[in-house]
Structure 1
Amino acid sequence: MFFGTVPVGEAAGAILAHSQEAGGKTYKKGTRLGEADVAALTAAGVETVIVARLEPGDLGEDEAARRLAAACTGAHVEAGTAATGRVNLFARADGLLLFDQERLNAVNSVDESVTVATLEPYARVEEGQLVATIKIIPLGVAETTVESAAARAKEAGSALVSVAPFRPRKVGLLQTVLPGTRDKVLAKTVETVSARLRTLGSELLRETRVEHTEAAVHRGLTELRDGGCDLILIVGASATTDRRDCIPAGLAAAGGTVEHYGMPVDPGNLLVTGHLGDVPVLALPGSARSPKVGGNDWVLWRICAGLPVTSEDIMRMGAGGLLKEIPARPLPRAEAAPQHPPAAAGHRRIAALVLAAGQSRRMGGRNKLLEEVGGRPMLLHALDAAEKSKAAPVIVVTGHQREQVESLLGGRRVKTVHNPDFADGLSTSLRTGVKALPADIDGVVVLLGDMPGIHSTVIDRLIDAFDPAGGHTICVPTWNGKRGNPVLLARRFFPEMQEIAGDVGAKPLLSEYSDQVMAVEMPDDTILVDLDTPEKLADYRNGNRG
């Protein structure tokens, strides 16, 4: 192919290399100049142009792109139109993108003039989505070069790029439970798993809940298989810590096989894969309770696309397996292996955050925090508990009737921070308080100002139970199996605490990270008693504190 500068009078039949304006008209790059174009350019005073001229054995960029695209377009993939040397390939079904990386490299190694770019291997794609693009770099290329690239694209007897469509599955969900496992968490898991499956064209056929024991897992798996499920997912009340743990042991006891335990993808490390006869079984890590994509999804997608998933396949998932860190999910990976050694258990610095900004809407116009309980404003009881505990510093978030609330704090070693958006709900106070926390603390205890029965020992028990290295990054007080307040959360959750919206506190995090929650039993029910109505306040003053 010729490429260079020529007199305009000699440019007829050549391909314009660069866009050019002349005589009020724009001649775009790639335009094949005709006699009329040459005359117009000459009349406009243009003397020379840079052009390409195809020689015998050359193909224009669009024809070259079309030919290579044809060799690359496999099952459930459609090639678009050619323009400026480019042809895009689109998925014709929801599924996973498939291609041979070695063949792709071979195609791109034929010549610098020929390129094929794809999404990542096994990318989840939707119908109509762009999955690959073929681009011829110059304006023309030797036909032999295109033929060589096309031959490599079809070297294995099939086109280079294809999509494996998702196939409908009838899925069974087995959830194990331990004492204290909350029904709300289990229900939320069903909701999350069902939504996940619907996007794959599958349905949750049955859900079964059993005790977290080998024998119960055995029974549950058998029940789901016999009930017509052709894929079984397991979400355990506790993480699987060994191949011999109760979930893989229960699968083996049911006559199944445990094929792989663990994967180099985080979140998703503690995945277990196996089969119960012909039925694939996935024991999901606790992170699967969240709708966020994890390693379990990578495996689930392949199964739903009808693709085998071997131990070798899983072991090869490490490249890119540290899934993108976002502010809402910087840990537990970073906390488990921090850049600097963590503080010793006895030296962790835990702050106390007292929320005192609410409007007391249920109190009939009275500010409940200023109401007297035991001869003192209600808020002071929560402050006493915080100041006498191991937590430091103590930060009070004010909002409604700021001046009256702050007047109670004179002489106390507390910091106040004002929430101007207090009318928008509890979450705004949580965000305001988290922003005011020191950078060097390890966690925070969140206290509500309307719980006068809380004692410093409650806070100290939570602090003593706090063990990020052991997976206890959220500590919740309980009484007779019921959860209450205050709650201690590790600093890893601070970004997510600032994203919560509405009139809720940190409760969504307890559901999403249930595997990180440590229940700390308390000696009485004061952790359950908040005085947010006139009736509750009157009962409390009269000695009825239940």
Structure 2
Amino acid sequence: MNGGRDAAAPRSPVRFSAVVLAAGMSSRMAGKHKLLLPIGGQPAVRRTVSALAAAGPEELVVVTGFNGRDVIDALDGLPVRFQGNPRYEEGQMTSVAAGVAALRMPCSVVLVCLADQVLLDAGDYRELVDAFGAMPYGSILIPAFNGQRGNPVAFSASYVPEVVTGRLNPGCRKLIAEHPDEVFVHEAAHDRFTVDMDTPEDYARILARLGISPDAVAETGLV
């Protein structure tokens, strides 16, 4: 929210924590749980969380709900903590609040991440953290590509109390219009921040981008 940063001042490394939203019901995936679909020999959620863990967060919280036990099993051995959300059917913001409330380690930035963004790698997450540290104004960062907004959203840890109580939704589409001084849009040079996996068609397109033959996952019945 400080628009007058000194560009010459040295910057300390940004310490970030991450919340992964993995509680949804996959209602558009033709009866399959999208987070458990195979991507290159591992469940989609494990691919996402492994990439995020490799980016070096202070802390990584995964919010579970629908098929929570299966999601936990899919992440066995990874350096994460789990937070159940009994209200997951009420919408994504309940999972955001539950995950942010579960953070314990000191940090300056929180990333709210989607578990089905399987194209993102550790470097992409670091790109957002570094962009947050370098942005000329604002305290919330939203990635975009060719005018399309994406995820994860990054916000200053000073907002944690407001997010936990529901007074602030950092992913709200009205936020940019209503609080332009607080929101910085990071224009990425690639579309990976805008790609998620909601439908069988999305899944097929992602497999094609990764060079994975549909025959390798024919047992899913989706491709």
TM-score between both structures, scaled by the size of structure 2 = 0.80
Match for residue 99 of structure 2 among 403, 418, 433: 433
Residue equivalent to 1:368: 34
1:497 to 135, 156, 163: 163
1:405 aligns with 2:71: yes
Query: Quick one: distance in 1 between partners of 2:12 and 2:52?
Result: 18
- Once the two structures are superposed, the pairs formed by residues 248-259 of structure 1 within 5 Å of their partners are none
Q: 1:516 aligns with which of 173, 178, 182?
A: 182
* Residue equivalent to 1:481: 147
CA distance in 2, matches of 1:525, 1:449: 17
**Equivalent AA in structure 1 for residue 89 of structure 2:** A
Partner-residue secondary structure (3-state), 1:459: helix
1:506 correspondence with 2:171: yes
Structure-2 change in CA distance of 1:521 and 1:446 (3 Å): same
Give the distance between the partners of 2:208 and 2:129, measured in 1 at CA: 32
Q: Describe the shift of the 1:413–1:525 C-alpha distance in structure 2 as closer, same or farther (beyond 3 A).
A: same
SS state at 1:400 partner: coil
Give, in whole Å, the separation in 2 of the partners of 1:442 and 1:469. Answer: 14
CA distance in 2: counterparts of 1:469 and 1:448, whole angstroms: 23
TM-aligned CA distance change 1:380 to 1:469, over 3 Å: closer
Contact kept? 2:155, 2:170, Cα under 8 Å: no
The answer on whether the counterparts of 1:486 and 1:527 sit within 8 Å (CA) in structure 2 is yes
**Could you say what secondary structure the match of 1:488 adopts?**
strand
Structure 1 equivalent of residue 201 of structure 2: 535
CA distance in 2, matches of 1:463, 1:471: 14
Aligned to 1:347, the other structure's residue is in SS state coil
Q: Which protein has the bigger strand share?
A: 1
> How far off its partner does 1:472 sit?
3.1
Q: Tell me which residue corresponds to 1:217.
A: none
Local SS of the residue matching 2:181: helix
Distance, in Å, in 2 between the alignment partners of 1:481 and 1:512 is 18
Note the C-alpha offset of 1:459.
1.3
Q: Secondary structure at the match of 1:445?
A: strand
Residue by residue, what CA displacement relative to the aligned partner does 1:98-156 show, whole Å, maximum 9, x if unpaired?
xxxxxxxxxxxxxxxxxxxxxxxxxxxxxxxxxxxxxxxxxxxxxxxxxxxxxxxxxxx
User: Which of 44, 49, 52 is matched with 1:378 structurally?
Assistant: 44
Deviation at 1:527, TM superposition (A): 1.1
Which residue of structure 2 aligns with residue 453 of structure 1? 119
Q: Is the CA contact 1:461–1:520 (under 8 Å) kept in the aligned structure 2?
A: no
Letter in 2 for 1:485: N
Q: Which residue of 1 aligns with 2:218?
A: none
Q: Distance in 2 between matches of 1:538 and 1:528?
A: 16
SS in 2 for 1:462: helix
Instruction: Report the residue type matching 1:366 in the other structure.
Output: K
Distance 1:544-1:455 versus aligned 2 partners, 3 A rule: closer
Shift of 1:468: 8.8
**Residue 371 (structure 1) shift:** 0.7
2:28 counterpart SS class: helix
How far off is 1:422 after superposition? 0.8
Distance in 2, matches of 1:423 and 1:491, equals 26
> Which secondary structure state, in structure 1, belongs to the residue aligned with residue 118 of structure 2?
coil
Structure showing greater radius of gyration is 1
Provide the secondary structure at the position in 2 that maps to 1:532: coil
Paired with 2:156 and 2:81, the residues of 1 have a C-alpha distance of: 20
Could you tell me which of 80, 85, 99 is aligned with 1:419?
85
What is the rounded CA distance, in whole Å, between the counterparts of 2:91 and 2:15 in structure 1?
28
- Aligned-partner Cα distance in 2 for 1:345–1:417: 33
User: Structure 2: how far apart are the matches of 1:536 and 1:510?
Assistant: 27
Give the 5 Å matches for 1:172-251: none
- Whether the 8 Å contact between 1:369 and 1:450 is mirrored in structure 2 is yes
Unaligned stretches of 5+ residues in structure 1: 1-331, 337-343
Contact 1:476–1:486 (CA under 8 A) maintained in structure 2:
yes
- 1:43-442 map, 5 Å: 332=1, 345-438=11-104, 440-442=106-108
Q: CA deviation at 1:445?
A: 0.8
Give secondary structure in 2 for the equivalent of 1:407.
helix
Q: What is the aligned-residue RMSD (CA, Å)?
A: 2.6
Q: Percent identical across equivalent pairs?
A: 33
CA–CA separation in structure 1 for the residues paired with 2:209 and 2:133: 37
Question: Any conservation in 2 of the 1:350–1:392 contact (CA below 8 Å)?
Answer: yes
SS of the aligned residue for 2:144 comes to: strand
Structure 1 residue 437, shift from structure 2 partner:
1.3
